[in-house]
Chains A and B, each alone.
Chain A
């Protein structure tokens, strides 16, 4: 229904389908946070979701990862209808969610946090190999593996959150504001690492306040406004659109 109002800029690069969100509605009691959100993420694609505070970005991710039950619409993931499926049934199917505000376990060590990331896996060798991979990706974490996660710096905590999400071997990584509260250089490091993650075949659905960063990084982007998608297009095309420049890049 809201499909008609979406302003689409430019053609989308072809990817095999992975996630399809179709007219999803989410309510918190009387508050309707999502009024019918439709978006897609392809295999190997990076998709950015941008929008103002309270637009419904976090709610969209939570509906996709099964932490919220939508009151309307359909979600399909990896060829299956997953509308209303619980998070613990989606993680084994390849969904990983690094929640807003990082959501690491502060009173556990870095290593214990990572072990919990592999919570649903039982292949000890595979876990050990993936653990090494995440240390290669974020060498800081290896140095700090015995340290309590709560005592890591903000940037290190974000790296841990991403590394931990990757330990479930996801097909799709949901990231909620990975740049939140981080210095530009740290953010840059994290996004460079995310590029490697994506190059290894992991699709990413990225929520960001930093529209410039997100749209530069993503193949495709959606703009969310008060619970609805109002604009979509390839990252670069959105970056060049005057509306976006005015509303989100402060020009």
Chain B
């Protein structure tokens, strides 16, 4: 990694000041999102797609903190998303008729949205702590088994709880989410993730990922750091769920299945375990892929029923993608590196060729 940054540093023209590197993706993403919201203000479908994309980015970037940076294997991220979605949804429903009269309606809505999101995020973080503490004290695959179980338990609990609308789902949640709000949380999760990577916390996670026993011998509080990473990751999954609940008309247990968890895992693996920008690129790609397939089907003049089948062929396509990737590039798109470490290495090579 040392060598990689040395290479990109000597790349010269493409060198980015070190202080800017951590927030570079955010600096690029945020104005783009704001401009997009303005451009798409009368295109509900585009806003919806962008919001889904943002939610997927938050999920992938947060899962990358655990599965990528720490080298643990969580496969129940959708469970934490569900906790956030339902708790935020219930909070918003409870606060539906309340308004801050001294503020414009739109602003008041956003304030309550943030309150609901925090309720969802903190609940998910708490769930993360309860799940993470016992399973992360042990080494090995316990986390995978426990998170798998957790995701299913949440689904069963929700399906059998009146307050959460049982299998029918929860509807009527105020649709107060905006592209700017989801963009803000994308900003925050990327910032936190990059801050962690560059800090001593990140170095500890790095050591744990490389060799947990050696990390422990070196004085790394392995359990503490793993649990902290897991709680942060769960918090953002809860936020993603909360946002989701505020722009889809209805949330039901079907939105938070094991398939959703695997979709997030695929994003992280595809982007490269440990790469934040990789997770972003993969999340964007895998959000757009089914839409692109849908449009392609539609362009060929097929019936809408066929377009709907895209949803069903999505998982086989993911599976195929993973197989191809593991064969050709097992470290993922970017490996553990970030976009700005990878791109400069591509450019000079091409120049040399010309």
B203 at the interface (CB under 8 A from A): yes
A91 touches B219 (CB 8 A): yes
Q: Tell me whether B2 is interfacial, beta carbon within 8 Å.
A: yes
User: How many contacts between A and B, using CB within 8 angstroms?
Assistant: 65
Contact in complex: A104, B216 (CB < 8 Å):
no
**With a CB–CB cut-off of 8 A, which chain B residues contact A106?**
210-211
Say whether chain B's binding surface is mostly helix, strand, loop, or mixed: helix
Q: Which residues of B contact A67 (CB under 8 A)?
A: 213, 216-217
Contact of B203 among A103, A107, A119 (CB under 8 A): A119
Task: List B184-206 residues whose CB lies under 8 Å from chain A.
Answer: 200, 203-204, 206
Say whether A34 faces chain B, with CB atoms less than 8 Å apart: no
Instruction: Known contacts A103-B211, A106-B210; decide if A112 and B220 are in contact (CB<8 Å).
Output: no
Given A109-B2, A146-B2, is A116 in contact with B207 using a C-beta cutoff of 8 Å?
A: yes
- Known pairs A88-B219, A119-B218, A146-B3; A99 contacts B213 (CB<8 A): yes
**Chain A contacts of B200 at CB under 8 A?**
119
Per a CB cutoff under 8 Å, which of A92, A99, A105, A109 touches B219?
A92
The minimal Cβ–Cβ distance linking A171 to chain B, given in whole angstroms, is: 14
Give the contacts of A72-131 with B (CB-CB under 8 A): 86-88, 90-92, 96-99, 103-109, 111-112, 116-117, 119-120
Residues of B within 8 A of A112 (CB): 1-2
Say if the beta carbon of A168 comes within 8 Å of chain B: yes
Instruction: Provide the B114-146 mask, 1 if CB < 8 A to any CB of A, else 0.
Output: 000000000000000000000000000000000
By beta carbon, the residue of chain A nearest B218 is A119
Expressed in whole angstroms, the Cα–Cα distance for A58 and B206 within the complex equals 25
Q: Is the CB of A97 within 8 A of B217?
A: yes
Q: Pick from B200, B217, B220 the residue with the most CB of A within 10 Å.
A: B217
Q: Who on chain B is nearest to A150 by CB?
A: B210
Taking a contact as CB atoms under 8 Å apart, the answer to whether B2 and A88 are in contact is no
- State the Cβ distance, B218 to closest chain A Cβ, in Å: 5
Against A, the Cβ 8 Å flags (1 = close, 0 = not) of B97-113 are 00000000000000000
Interface residue total, chain B, C-beta cutoff 8 A: 21
In whole Å, how far is B203's beta carbon from the nearest beta carbon of chain A? 7
A residues near B216, Cβ cutoff 8 Å: 67, 87-88
B residues near A108, Cβ cutoff 8 Å: 1, 206, 210
Q: Answer yes or no: A203 CB below 8 A from chain B CBs.
A: no
- Complex Cα spacing A112 to B214, Å: 14
Are A91 and B218 also in contact (CB < 8 A) when A109-B2, A112-B2, A116-B203 are? yes
Q: Tell me if A65 is interfacial: C-beta within 8 Å of chain B.
A: yes
Interface residues in B202-261 (C-beta closer than 8 Å to A): 203-204, 206-207, 210-211, 213-222, 224
What is the bound-complex CA distance between A91 and B216, given in angstroms? 10
**Cβ contact within 8 Å between B217 and A109:** no
CA distance A107 to B214 in the complex (A): 13
Contacts of A109 in B (CB 8 A): 1-3
With A103-B211, A106-B210 known as contacts, the answer to whether A116 contacts B218 (CB < 8 A) is yes
Q: Which residue of B lies closest to A86 (CB)?
A: B221
Q: Tell me the chain B residues, 257-277 only, with Cβ under 8 Å from chain A.
A: none
Residues of A within 8 A of B219 (CB): 87-88, 90-92, 119-120, 168
CB distance from A76 to the nearest CB of B (A): 19
Does B2 contact A99, Cβ atoms closer than 8 Å?
Answer: no
Question: Which A residues lie within 8 Å of B220 (CB)?
Answer: 88, 119
List 9 A-B pairs, Cβ < 8 Å: A65-B217, A67-B213, A96-B217, A105-B211, A109-B1, A116-B218, A120-B219, A146-B2, A164-B218
Which residues in B have some Cβ–Cβ distance to A below 8 Å?
1-3, 200, 203-204, 206-207, 210-211, 213-222, 224
Return the 3 tightest CB-CB contacts between A and B, nearest first: A91-B219, A103-B214, A88-B221
Given A87-B217, A168-B218; 16 other pairs, CB 8 A cutoff: A67-B217, A88-B220, A91-B218, A96-B217, A103-B214, A104-B214, A105-B214, A106-B210, A108-B1, A108-B206, A109-B2, A112-B1, A117-B218, A119-B203, A119-B219, A165-B217
